[in-house]
């Protein structure tokens, strides 16, 4: 039985990770912001923790909530989407909302969680997006979101150097039928998470700092 930590598990991909890992017999610790999400996690058999990754005061207390834990798989799933292209500047409120959740929350979680993943010689994966790669950019649509995911990828690649006994990586779930991806997406939540769990189970130290598709294929360019 492995110890699994999921940051951002109230719905969608995070909730499905909690469901699948719990069904497989693993111990799951999972976070949500509100009572409804915490209740859903409890129903699945996970250990719920109240946490808002966009609130520095909330996430700064994560380390003491996890004191003494040894984590084998940690997942940073929390993320927000933002519409709008480069013809209109983002408002400060929208920029801060997206960047705090997608980037600052992850950067604040790393120093608190990565040492626990090192104790388990495990994997710390950050759910990113193909929209964060800079080598192939189709449009400016959702440009604040694109910028946030590119920044997240860099944060993961840079942080890896400070945690040599853990494997940190960025993992794209694909185009998934969530509230963000919409009903026309090519992957169901269940299929995406199943593929990502298979990828995570096959990770080796050679994958440190990498940027992978949900099925384990490396991105050709960032």
* pLDDT at res. 135: 72
- Look at residue 105 and give its three-state secondary structure: helix
Structure tokens at 124: 């710390």
Task: Confirm if 197 and 28 have CB atoms less than 8 A apart.
Answer: no
pLDDT digit string, tens, across residues 155-182 = 999 999 999 999 999 999 987 787 776 7
pLDDT digit string, tens, across residues 49-62 = 999 999 989 999 99
With pLDDT > 70 as the criterion, what percentage of the chain qualifies? 96
In whole angstroms, give the CA distance from residue 101 to residue 153.
14
pTM: 0.95
* pLDDT at res. 89: 92
pLDDT digit string, tens, across residues 132-160 = 677 777 777 789 999 999 999 999 999 99
Structure tokens at 30: 């999972």
- Look at residue 68 and give its three-state secondary structure: coil
Bridge partners of 171, per DSSP, are 127, 212
- Look at residue 74 and give its three-state secondary structure: strand
69: how many CB neighbours lie within 10 A of its CB? 17
Q: For 194-219, what is the mean pLDDT?
A: 94
Write down the mean pLDDT value for the chain.
92
Terminal-residue alpha carbon distance, the chain: 35
Listed in sequence order, the residues at least 6 apart from 136 whose beta carbon sits closer than 8 Å to its beta carbon are 221
pLDDT digit string, tens, across residues 76-127 = 999 998 888 889 999 999 999 999 999 999 999 999 999 999 999 999 999 9
**102-134 in b/e burial notation, b at 16+ Cβ within 10 A?**
bbbbbebbbebbbbbbbbbebbbbbbbbbbbbe
* pLDDT at res. 179: 72
Question: Could you give all domains of the chain from N- to C-terminal order, each with its CATH number?
Answer: 3-212 (3.40.50.720)
């Amino acid at each position: 039985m492995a110890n699994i930590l999921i940051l951002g598990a109230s719905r969608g991909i995070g909730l499905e990770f909690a469901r699948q890992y719990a069904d497989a017999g693993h111990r799951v610790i999972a976070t949500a912001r509100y009572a409804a999400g915490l209740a859903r996690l409890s129903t699945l058999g996970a250990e719920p923790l109240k946490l808002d990754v966009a609130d520095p005061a909330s996430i700064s207390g994560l380390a003491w909530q996890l004191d003494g834990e040894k984590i084998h798989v940690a997942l940073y799933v929390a993320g927000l989407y933002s519409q709008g292209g480069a013809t209109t500047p983002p408002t400060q409120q929208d920029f801060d909302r997206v960047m705090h959740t997608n980037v600052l929350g992850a950067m604040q979680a790393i120093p608190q969680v990565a040492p626990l993943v090192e104790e388990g010689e495990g994997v710390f994966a950050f759910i990113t997006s193909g929209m964060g790669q800079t080598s192939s950019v189709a449009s400016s649509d959702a440009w604040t979101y694109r910028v946030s995911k590119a920044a997240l990828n860099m944060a993961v690649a840079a942080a890896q150097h400070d945690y040599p006994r853990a494997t940190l990586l960025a993992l794209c779930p694909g185009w998934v039928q969530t509230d963000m991806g919409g009903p026309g997406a090519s992957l169901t939540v269940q299929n995406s998470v199943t593929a990502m769990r298979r990828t995570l189970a096959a990770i080796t130290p050679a994958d440190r700092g990498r940027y992978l598709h949900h099925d384990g294929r490396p991105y050709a360019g960032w």
